[in-house]
Chain A
Amino acid sequence: MVQKLPRIGVFVCDCGLNIAGVVDTAEVSRYAATLPGVVAVIRNRYTCADPGQNEIKKAIAEHNLDRVVIASCTPKIHEPTFRKCVAEGGLNPYLMEMANIREHCSWVHQADRAGATEKAKDLVRSSVARATCLQPQDEAIFPVTGAALVIGGGVAGIQAALDLGDLGHKVYLVEKEPTIGGIMAALDKTYPTMDCSI
């Protein structure tokens, strides 16, 4: 599948002391440079901050990178950030991969610096291996039919149908009984204001 060796840039984040306080990020950076396909390694204090992101964009152009690996925090936080960043740098956003060396490493192995550093190196190697095989992806776009179906004509269904109608959308409100109203219509007064249900 992989035609030629990719040109991978690895960005190792100190995250202040969050990562660098436990993991030897300098050692991780040295190690990353030895991995197949890696042509640039840049260590940053805060990769997610603007200067860090600018470094990524600059490196993509300077080193003609076609894959980016970011060793920092969990992708659950910054995957969208860095996807956007590499896209601005001219790469397909799906050619970016993250190695989670904070939540899954520095924060949970605080008493074992050597072990944490070894693990961080492994996580980077694993991400570089994955990045090597990443392919550009296009997100498909589909049109949306401009109408809504609301199933159930109780108080919730009625409210949803009215709001959607007020937003200007066509609404089908389906109720299996001969009248809408549901359980609410069978109540006398409703709390906390003691007003009528209907």
Chain B
Amino acid sequence: MAESTTFYCLRCQNRFPVQYDPKEVKERSCPRCGSNSVRKETPAAAETQARSPSVKIG
């Protein structure tokens, strides 16, 4: 079953909600920068994210 999960973008560090079903492999993109380098946010990911620079949008 799909449930709302937080994803984050490995390019612009945007966080966004996604209807996520672990059994389903789906194409996903960041609603802000359009990158497909997005992944489910885990505690480890949140930690590295805090010290990561990102691409400026605009």
Q: Do chains A and B make direct contact within the complex (CB under 8 angstroms)? A: no
